[in-house]
Amino acid sequence: MTISDIPSRLNITAKFSNFLVWEEKQNYITVSWQKDVKLVKNIVDHQLVNLDENQCFIYWLNRINSDVLAKSHLIAYLDWNCYWVVKNFFDNNNIYVKNISEVEKYLKAFNILRDTVTNSDKLIKEFSKFNPTISHINTYSQRWLKNVIRDGIYQEYGIGKYTFWGLLKNSTKTNLEIALKNQGYSQEYISIFVLLLQCFQQVYNGVKTKEKGGKLVNPTPENIKEILNLYQSLPETNLSMVTLKNEVNISPKFFETAMKKCHDSLTNYKKIQRPSAYSYHLPMQSENNDANENNTLTLETVLFRKKQEELKAKIDELKAKEADSLFGLLDKQEVNLILVKNLQTIKNNDYKKSQLLALNYGLGLKQSTIAELLNSQQSKVSREKTKITGAILKTFVREVQTRLQQKENIKEELKVKIQSLISPELNSVKNSIEHWLNNCYEKPFYLKLQDIFLGLESEQKTLVILKYGGDYQLVNEKHIGLNNKEIALRFNLTEIEVDEKLANVKKILKVNLITYVNNKYKINIAYDNQQIDNFLEQWFYQAPYGSLNS
């Protein structure tokens, strides 16, 4: 055992005024409560002693920007959950890091959570979604903190998506551009690095990237060769970049060096996004000290804020440039109409292409699975998808250029720019189009699932709504519903019975959805397909339970 137990706080005053104190003693951590008498007095003054936890938490959340002690009350309450989330995380996950002791990992984990719960913006953003009629603040906050600790620890120690190749695989174009700029690279080199990364992502996403244990594998020499061939085939219209591209030998060695520079830049960028927990000084106060002191600022905090201001200026600069791109200059409705027209042409003229787009962008099936369903080869499916999206991009850009040239309120220099878009800008447009295709093809399947859901028995629907939350606006991030124990109490069931009933509901939805897709597209998706399970889980988090329960 690495960490001591702690007693529960017995009343509402203690829960919103007592903080955890963590102390390292050799290979063991002792944890105890420390009372802040200033917070105790504040709760009494506001006459909150008879409120329940939900009411008291919402009360202070609503005053976080107007009451100097409000955030401290929220931090005090969340300390209990921080303790249990850290303890349970390491009890259930074997996180081995060379030369890092168990005690260091526990302290690092608590610091990650403390960084989060001391951030007012994050508290407001997260708990503004909290609905006290369908969940308890204790349950809701624990689920949120579980996500925070998992992501934070993985990032801190380079695990999962934060391994070398994992970080690159999951990076976005915008983040990489900002990170490289922050390191002082020229625009020409940034363009080359970004394109190389996008080529890597395109190839890497199409191959088996995980070993049996879930570890990301390195790209093979064959993968790197394919990446470089893809890069060399990209058209370049920016003269300075063409010159640099001709001067630089884009070899496997250069690729590895470029990826190392990208990784280091992204890592440094992430470090300045989150300060150390030690930069926060909570307004702790003992019984012998009644001084009304504000939180103090450390040198680390000041330096961090200065760095954040510089970073914000760079982000604003990048956003200003994006405003001059195709999507920034056109009305959203115009963009939508152009894309709908393009897509309708494909639907009317080529059924096979419609199948491919629906299965890939709609259901999220892998290209290997689509190849089996369409009696084709994965390489052929990959080429066909690239060809389709390329054709949509080409037609879209041509149509947009024509429309923008006809607009009178656009400066002449922008008209010239519009007619000679460089590859990074085209890739940005391509990414936006693919995002649009995802939304477009997911919608019919989501609507079908809603129809199936409405046909369920009342108890089955209620179980799902309680489990997944019922917040109409919540989008694909976190559970906010009840846990199985809470659901079991409501229905007078055991937790195992709750699991069985939920599994049965999922099976009904899955079987009906697969039958619908098989009939519609004349294919034969197996009823045990794991990718459909993933799609269903995604829908559970996004479903508009507010309207489905009416």
| pLDDT tens for each residue of 190-204 | 888 888 888 888 887
The packing angle between helices 137-157 and 102-117, to 10°, is 120
Is 536 a member of any domain?
yes
Are 477 and 368 in the same domain? no
Q: How much is the mean pLDDT over the chain? A: 76
Q: Is the pLDDT of residue 142 over 80?
A: yes
- Residue environment code for 206-236, b if the CB has 16+ CB neighbours within 10 A, otherwise e: beebeeeeeebeebeeebbebbbebbeeeeb
Are 430 and 479 in the same domain? no
Measured from the Cβ of residue 254, the count of other Cβ atoms closer than 10 Å reads 14
Domain of 550? 455-550
104's tokens: 């260091």
Average pLDDT over residues 51-78: 90
The per-residue pLDDT for 174 is: 85
Place of tokens 């002690």: 69
Are 41 and 150 in the same domain? yes
Is 391 a member of any domain?
yes
The per-residue pLDDT for 296 is: 34
Residue 434 or residue 243, greater confidence: 434
Q: Give the bridge partners for 3, in sequence order.
A: 29
Final residue in a domain of this structure, among 103, 132, 157: 157
For the chain, give the percent of residues with pLDDT over 90: 15
For the chain, give the percent of residues with pLDDT over 70: 73
Are 93 and 182 in the same domain? no
Cα 224 → chain centroid: 28
Final residue in a domain of this structure, among 434, 463, 479: 434
Are 411 and 333 in the same domain? yes
Is 298 a member of any domain?
no
Are 29 and 114 in the same domain? yes
200's tokens: 């890597």
Are 134 and 218 in the same domain? no
The per-residue pLDDT for 313 is: 58
Final residue in a domain of this structure, among 127, 157, 187: 157
Q: Is the pLDDT of residue 165 over 60?
A: yes
The packing angle between helices 137-157 and 53-61, to 10°, is 60
The per-residue pLDDT for 96 is: 62
Residue 345 or residue 156, greater confidence: 345
Question: What band does 248 get if pLDDT is binned at 50, 70 and 90?
Answer: low
Environment class of residue 296 by beta-carbon count within 10 Å: exposed (0-12), middle (13-18) or buried (19+)? Answer: exposed
Tally of domains within the chain: 4
Q: Is the pLDDT of residue 99 over 70?
A: no
Residue 214 or residue 128, greater confidence: 128
Please enumerate in sequence order all residues whose Cβ is within 8 A of that of 224, keeping only pairs 6 or more positions apart, or say none.
Answer: 252, 255, 256
Are 505 and 534 in the same domain? yes
Are 472 and 529 in the same domain? yes
Cα 388 → chain centroid: 28
Is 489 a member of any domain?
yes
Is 261 a member of any domain?
yes
Is 301 a member of any domain?
no
Is 424 a member of any domain?
yes
Are 137 and 92 in the same domain? yes
The per-residue pLDDT for 57 is: 93
Question: What band does 323 get if pLDDT is binned at 50, 70 and 90?
Answer: very low
Window from 126-135, 479-488, 522-531 with minimum mean pLDDT:
479-488
Are 23 and 149 in the same domain? yes
Question: What band does 175 get if pLDDT is binned at 50, 70 and 90?
Answer: confident
Are 123 and 151 in the same domain? yes
357 DSSP assignment: H
pTM as predicted: 0.42
In 36-94, where does DSSP find H-type helix? 37-45, 53-61, 70-92
* Conformation bin of residue 360: beta by default, left when phi > 0, alpha when psi is -120 to 50: alpha
Question: What band does 321 get if pLDDT is binned at 50, 70 and 90?
Answer: very low
Window from 121-135, 148-162, 444-458 with minimum mean pLDDT:
148-162
Average pLDDT over residues 59-80: 90
Is 315 a member of any domain?
no
Task: Give the per-residue SS3 of 487-507.
Answer: HHHHHCCCHHHHHHHHHHHHH
Question: What band does 78 get if pLDDT is binned at 50, 70 and 90?
Answer: very high
